[in-house]
Amino acid sequence: MTSQEDRPAGVFLAFEGGEGAGKSTQVARLEAWLTAQGRTVRTTREPGATVIGGTVRQLLLDPSTVGLSSRAEALLYAADRAQHVHEVVRPALEAGDVVVTDRFVDSSLAYQGAGRTIPLEDVRSISSWATGGLLPDLTVLLDLPPETGLARARGRATADRLEAESLEFHLRVRQTFLELAAAEPARYLVLDATAAPDEVAEGIRTRVTELLA
Ligand code: TMP
């Protein structure tokens, strides 16, 4: 947790969660609500928010990518993140915008750390170097059982390389997201993603209102 001291002016929100948790729906709803309040909002995502990141995303998620080592995977997610922070997140925060990202550092801790069983501290230090220590002001964790989320995600499209991992992998991912949130309750909002989308959106608006006050 370095260089929060050179933290730019805007507000930084991240959405995290397993597959099929409804992050993109809730990011879009929050964006619409904040914009209606007169805020300038920059919604973004990982991996793949930049042109360079788009190439990295394709490599990472294409099921035809075979033989990628866990360490190489972790570094590619970190490379995407470094470019994302450099090109999108920091400039928008410096302009005073509200930046809402669909996934950030915690996804690497959960998927590469717990999922691939790379020591969490190694993943944290790679990510921290990639971001220059930048962390969200608030992370919204949309929590749901992986059985439910994977069924939702697989109903939409063919499974990408990470979705195609075992249920045990996704159970470790969920557990780690919950542990990260439990360790720092002031920086997290955990919501039950099996609830109705309206209810989830209301919970997010309440907490974001407090944060922006
Ligand atoms: P998405 O489907 O939410 O866009 O996310 C892409 C996939 O990449 C998803 O399965 C989670 C995974 N992922 C990681 O494994 N590590 C990371 O650091 C990030 C940002 C995503």
Q: Does residue 1 belong to any structural domain of this protein?
A: no
Write out pLDDT tens, residues 31-71: 999 999 999 999 999 999 999 999 999 999 999 999 999 99
Query: Which of 135, 139, 74, 151 minimizes the C-alpha distance to 108?
Result: 74
CB 165 within 8 A of CB 6: no
Q: Label residue 1 by pLDDT band (50, 70, 90).
A: very low
Mean pLDDT of 73-85: 98
pLDDT of 5 > 60? The answer is: no
Paired tokens of 45? 């995502």
100 within domain boundaries: yes
Give the number of the atom of ligand 1 that is nearest the alpha carbon of residue 60: 8
What pTM was computed for the model? 0.95
CATH of the domain at 87: 3.40.50.300
Quote the domain boundaries for residue 94: 9-212
Count of domains in the chain? 1
pLDDT in tens, 89-128: 999 999 999 999 999 999 999 999 999 999 999 999 999 9
**pLDDT of 2:** 39
Span 14-29, pLDDT tens digits: 999 999 999 999 999 9
Q: Which atom of ligand 1 is nearest to the CA of 77?
A: 18
Please indicate whether residue 107, judged by its CB atom, sits closer than 6 Å to ligand 1.
Answer: yes
189 assigned to some structural domain: yes
**Ligand 1 pocket member 73 (CB < 6 A):** no
What residue has token string 């919204």? 140
- Per-residue model confidence as pLDDT tens digits over 142-182: 999 999 999 888 887 778 898 889 999 999 999 999 999 99
The position carrying tokens 């697989």 is: 154
Residue 59 lies in a domain: yes
Is any ligand 1 atom within 6 A of the Cβ of residue 163?
yes
User: Is 106 within the bounds of a domain?
Assistant: yes
Asked if residue 135 belongs to a domain, the reply is: yes
pLDDT of residue 158: 79
Which of 16, 75, 162, 173 most suits a substitution to test ligand 1, by most atoms within 8 Å of the C-beta? 162
Q: Quick: pLDDT tens for 183-205.
A: 999 999 999 999 999 999 999 99
Task: Cis check for the bond before 91: say yes or no (omega within 30 of 0).
Answer: no
2 belongs to a structural domain: no
In angstroms, how far is CA 202 from the centroid of its own chain? 20
Contacts 24+ apart (CB under 8 A), 168-172: 169/115, 170/18, 170/19, 170/115, 170/146, 171/146, 172/110, 172/114, 172/115, 172/117
Query: For residue 78, which atom of ligand 1 is closest to its CA?
Result: 18
Cα(212) to ligand 1 centroid in Å equals: 28
- Percent of the chain, pLDDT > 90? 88
